[in-house]
């Protein structure tokens, strides 16, 4: 065999190996040879296990446009409404209203790296953290919170509003509190960001630890499921929340009673377009109203 034949055979062999990279014909999958087996496996795992393999940094964006940690509003039926922006600064405000019997906490669009175990202590029943289960590599501060021995006696659970933008380890806390009757959540399932990740050689981030509400329940990629679910489009979810941020009086975001007026008086220049009702907030108000009515019923 001549040198020319040897070189020709070598080229053919190399071509065959390259064209069958990862067991498939590269002519059908151009560029496949540039991916390692690990990279392909991670993409497969990402499809099989949503939220457990990420291809960008998993840090949550905690910045907010609000200059305050919370905003407090008075609603009908003696309801206190608290919108949360930063968990790390909200504890004093929540403590001030922990004994208020008609309370709505708005967690929509809230992202936080904190588990906030100590923050929710005043709204929970004794021993509520016993089921919380750290799995894998979880930062100690997630489960090291010091809890008080006392808790607030309430006639009704706290109403918590959430949506798909509610994200952080505290999602596991919300699940636990709803399970033991301390809260009633209203809105959409949360983001499912209760995990902690490590970066691998390919640049991807894989799940390395998780804070679970109990040993058998994982929220990663699925999120916390509110008891009262209200399906909304992304546009509806954004508008009903951010109208308040734009300066709309929160009372105008609740259902307005229909008034009988003479149609002839409604000239185009004097007719105001109706403001979209915040359906999630409205449902929270309705639940509290129903519970108050039941409490006022005389015993038989």
**pLDDT for position 198:** 95
H helix or E strand, kind and range, residue 54:
strand 53-54
**pLDDT for position 21:** 53
Considering the entire predicted model, what is its pTM? Answer: 0.83
Task: Extract the tokens encoding 163.
Answer: 């949506």
Rg (CA), the chain: 27
In angstroms, rounded to a whole number, what is the distance separating the alpha carbons of residues 177 and 169? 14
Give every residue of the chain whose pLDDT is below 50, as ranges.
3-20, 259-261, 270-271
**pLDDT for position 273:** 61
- Count CB-CB contacts under 10 A for residue 300: 3
φ and ψ of 43, to 5 deg: -65, -35
In angstroms, rounded to a whole number, what is the distance separating the alpha carbons of residues 191 and 231? 15
Cβ neighbours for 141, distance < 8 A, ≥ 6 positions apart:
115
Domain boundaries, the chain: 35-252+276-293
H helix or E strand, kind and range, residue 13:
helix 3-19
Four-way CATH pick for 35-252+276-293: 3.90.226.10, 3.60.40.10, 3.50.50.60, 3.40.50.300: 3.90.226.10
């Amino acid at each position: 065999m001549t040198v020319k034949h040897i070189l020709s055979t070598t080229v053919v062999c190399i071509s065959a190996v390259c064209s069958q990279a990862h067991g498939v014909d590269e002519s059908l999958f151009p560029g496949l040879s540039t991916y390692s087996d690990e990279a392909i496996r991670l993409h497969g795992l990402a499809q099989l296990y949503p939220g457990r393999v990420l291809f960008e940094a998993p840090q949550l964006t905690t910045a907010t446009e609000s200059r305050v940690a919370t905003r407090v509003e008075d609603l009908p039926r003696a309801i206190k409404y608290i919108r949360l922006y930063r968990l790390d600064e909200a504890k004093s405000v929540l403590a001030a209203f922990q004994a208020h019997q008609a309370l709505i906490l708005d967690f929509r669009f809230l992202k936080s790296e904190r588990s906030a175990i100590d923050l929710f202590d005043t709204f929970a029943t004794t021993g509520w953290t016993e089921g919380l289960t750290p799995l894998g590599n979880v930062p100690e501060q997630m489960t090291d919170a010091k809890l008080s021995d006392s808790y607030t006696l309430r006639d009704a659970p706290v109403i918590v509003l959430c949506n798909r933008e509610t994200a952080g380890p505290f999602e596991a806390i919300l699940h636990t509190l709803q399970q033991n009757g301390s809260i009633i959540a209203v809105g959409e399932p949360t983001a499912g960001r209760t995990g902690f990740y490590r970066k691998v050689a390919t640049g991807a981030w894989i799940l390395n630890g998780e804070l679970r509400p109990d040993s058998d329940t994982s929220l990663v990629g699925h999120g916390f499921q509110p008891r009262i679910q209200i399906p909304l489009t992304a546009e509806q979810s954004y508008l009903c929340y951010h109208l308040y941020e734009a300066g709309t009086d929160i009372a105008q975001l609740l259902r307005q009673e229909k008034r009988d007026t003479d149609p002839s008086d409604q000239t185009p220049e004097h007719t105001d377009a109706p403001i979209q009702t915040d359906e999630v907030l409205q449902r929270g108000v309705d639940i509290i109203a129903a519970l108050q009515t039941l409490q006022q019923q005389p015993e038989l």
